[in-house]
Amino acid sequence: MIHYIGHRLLQLIPLLIAISIIAFVIIQLPPGDYLTTYINQLELSGTKVSESAIVALERQYGLDKPMYQQYFIWMKNILLHGDFGRSFSWNEPVSKVIGERLVLTMVISIFTLIVTWLIAIPIGIYSAVRQYSVLDYIFSFIGFIGLAVPNFLIALVIVYFVFDTTGIAITGLFSPEYADAPWSFAKVLDLLQRIWVPVLIIATAGTAGLIRTMRGMLLDELSKQYVVTARAKGVAEKKLLFKYPVRVAVNPLISTIGWTLPTIISGEAIVSIVLNLPTTGPVLLDAFRTQDMYLAGSFILILSILTVIGTLLSDILLAWVDPRIRFGGVEE
Amino acid sequence: MSVELGKEMEPMPLDEMKEEEKSVEVASQWKLMWWKFRKHKLALISAPILLMLFIIIVFAEFLSPHLPLERFTDYKYAPPTKIHFVDAEGNFSFRPFVYGMTQEIDSETFQRTFVEDTSQKYPIHFFVEGKPYKMWGLFEMKTHFIGVKDAGAPFFLTGTDSLGRDLLSRTFYGSRISISFALIGIVFTVIFGLILGGISGYFGGAVDTVIQRLIDLLLCIPAIPLWMALAAALPQSWSPLKIYFGMVLIFSIVGWTGLARVVRGKLLSLREEDFTMAARLAGASNMRIISKHLLPSFASYIIINVTISIPVTILGETSLSFLGLGLQSPVVSWGVLLQEAQKLENLAHHPWLLWPAVFIVVTVLMFNFIGDGLRDAADPYK
């Protein structure tokens, strides 16, 4: 097991380096560098920028050096000082802008993942066991709709209907009195009351896909000979179902966390913009609109790295759940 | 042979046997696939609906009652016009008609509402003369498929937007942009996917490893933030057409991975098949083996993958344009149209702004159904 985890960790290193290069390229993509934009911004607001300040900033981010050296300076600042650069539109260090929002994004994403599973696994099992029953068709149909309606649209429609019927705007993650309050137990409770709206909205698309996977896998498994043998030997239906087929069918769900997680984070980004949540989405959008590239690039970097870590955790979980992988060596 | 055997064992009248049972032994792969596809009822229903959509796309100018940029300044945020068969006095007429609309402002809330003016009656006609337009940018035409003869009369089947433009006409024109975007995107995606997946699967080795790691990399970056990043990098000075193709390329660059994986996987397994070995022993060249033996074997998988990718591209473009990072007005796409519905207060007072969403959902649903039907049909020997 340790050997397996070590191998996966080593595989991660080139991936992480590649991600950081992509994030750096994204930062460099828009014309003009960050400093000229920053100075323009300051001068527009009427502040004169002194020569010495410009030189100091240039040195700090190595903007006078060639591109590859800038990349290394950027990486060095992140790894050694946790300095992701400066967001000129917020006029604060990027890490300060990102911090709390990132935590909320992760909380919502993990909640969503759990909700997705809680809905998808039972429905998937039911649909496979009672294949072609009325409920199976209904679930399939709802699933298709869940796949066809973009997240932001579900968010819009739900917000509209709630507003139309009750007059309450269900945007935001906190009630007004807690929005700017420091963290406390009451604030967490408030968050828990409101978090399910974005969670359920983001979960729709993922759930639809997972139900189909679960149903398909379980159907394959149920037609195998060991199931027939067990039934012939008189094993109770319930035990027969949960002892092996369900366990095998759940595996692909775990192994697909790798691409479920990016989908959830993507979904979170767009839903949070519509629902105006204090998470990464709205800030990311603003960062791209105003070409606040250090902020935008850092978001991409951190979101991708979190995804990679999530994938790694899912691989370890899979190895733990499925002995065939644990003992089958390190082949994927 | 087995058909004859069956006849001997259980005497069944020949005409009761279905056509497919008779010829299943000699049917080609594509014929088998069609039979299997036919059994998927939802996919079968989806086909004509999608055909209707394509008719709308091709003849958008003719089918739209108005022009996409035509402003009816008296009818800003007008609700969908009701079509009547029975007038206020209870007289029934076979020709449907619409009433005129007048705006009223609530003296307390200053909210604008439209009420029907039953004194003005405008009958609806097919093939009416309206505002001139250029069909496919080529021929000057004036005939619209449906409309009212009075040019200033309110005939807005799905309401109007903030500038008093007819939403239905805009949605029709938007269909053309959104669907063509997805289709052109798919062409690029297939090209990238086939080439990179093909190289990866056929040659293997170091090239394969590099391409596979590249795919892993692209898959672990959340798609919407990545699209946003690339879209934001397009120069703002570009013309709408350039932006359109820039966006198409962005989606293909991010989206080719799925197809490349399918192509690679299939190639890897087909490479080991006996018929490939036989062809090689018979002295066929690499090119001939790929084009004559391998490609036809997984063409069906490519078609399925394409059908499944189209809705993904449609949803992606819609989401980005909705956020204001994708296509920009004056280009009209479904996502651009939904931008107006972004604000809750706008949506709450003018819910018909969601009409373009109906088109999105139906289109994506139909493509998904057909994709599902094709998936079932892909392996007819099962």
pLDDT, tens only, A72-83: 888 888 888 878
Is the pLDDT confidence value at B95 over 60? yes
**A148 vs B224: CB contact, 8 Å cut-off?**
no
**A30 vs B233: CB contact, 8 Å cut-off?**
yes
Bigger pLDDT: B87 vs B173: B173
Per CB-CB distance under 8 Å, the chain B contacts of A26 are 229-230, 233
Question: Residues near A229 by Cβ (< 8 Å), separated by ≥ 6?
Answer: none
Is the pLDDT confidence value at A172 over 80? no
What pLDDT does residue B18 have?
A: 56
Is the pLDDT confidence value at B7 over 70? no
Residue B111 C-alpha, separation from nearest chain A C-alpha, in angstroms: 16
Residue B231 C-alpha, separation from nearest chain A C-alpha, in angstroms: 9
Per CB-CB distance under 8 Å, the chain B contacts of A314 are none
What pLDDT does residue A39 have?
A: 73
Is the pLDDT confidence value at B367 over 50? yes
What pLDDT does residue B6 have?
A: 43
- The average confidence (pLDDT) of chain A is 80
- Taking only the tens place, the pLDDT of each residue in B39-70 is 777 788 888 888 988 988 888 888 888 887 77
- Taking only the tens place, the pLDDT of each residue in B312-332 is 888 888 888 888 888 877 788
Torsion of CA A36, A40, A42, A46, to 10 degrees: 150
What pLDDT does residue B380 have?
A: 55
In terms of average pLDDT, the best of A128-132, B123-127, B287-291 is A128-132
Domain map (residue ranges) of chain A: 102-291
The CATH number of the domain covering residues in A102-291: 1.10.3720.10
Bigger pLDDT: B164 vs A302: A302
> Within the 222-281 window of chain A, which residues sit less than 8 Å (CB to CB) from chain B?
258-259, 262-263, 265-267, 269-270, 273-274
- Best probe of the A interface among B46, B213, B220, B238, by most A CBs < 10 A, is B220
Is the pLDDT confidence value at B15 over 70? no
CATH superfamily entry for domain B171-378: MetI-like (1.10.3720.10)
Is the pLDDT confidence value at A331 over 70? no
User: For residues A159 and A275, is the Cβ–Cβ distance under 8 A?
Assistant: yes
pTM as predicted: 0.79
- Taking only the tens place, the pLDDT of each residue in B107-132 is 777 777 777 777 777 777 788 787 78
pLDDT over 90, % of chain B: 1
Domain map (residue ranges) of chain B: 81-155, 171-378
A256/A209 Cα distance (integer angstroms): 11
Question: Residues near B141 by Cβ (< 8 Å), separated by ≥ 6?
Answer: B61, B62, B132, B133, B134, B135
User: For residues B374 and B307, is the Cβ–Cβ distance under 8 A?
Assistant: yes
Is the pLDDT confidence value at A326 over 70? no
Closest chain B residue to the Cα of A262, Cα to Cα: B222
B245: its two tokens: 């193709």
**A19 vs B220: CB contact, 8 Å cut-off?**
yes
pLDDT band at A325 (very low <50, low <70, confident <90, very high): low
Facing residue for A144 by CB, picked from B344, B351, B365: B365
User: For residues B126 and B144, is the Cβ–Cβ distance under 8 A?
Assistant: no
Name residue, tokens 């098949």.
Answer: B273
What pLDDT does residue B2 have?
A: 43
Is the pLDDT confidence value at B251 over 70? yes
Q: Which of A116-125, A180-189, B237-246, B330-339 has the lowest mean pLDDT?
A: A180-189
Question: Residues near B205 by Cβ (< 8 Å), separated by ≥ 6?
Answer: none
Closest chain B residue to the Cα of A17, Cα to Cα: B217
A137/B344 Cα distance (integer angstroms): 34
B126-133 — which CB contacts under 8 Å span 24+ positions? B130/B65, B130/B66, B131/B66, B131/B67, B131/B70, B133/B61, B133/B67
What pLDDT does residue A130 have?
A: 86
Residue type, B49: I
Question: ipTM exceeding 0.85?
Answer: no
B105/B92 Cα distance (integer angstroms): 32
Polymer length in residues for chain B: 382
Is the pLDDT confidence value at A154 over 80? yes
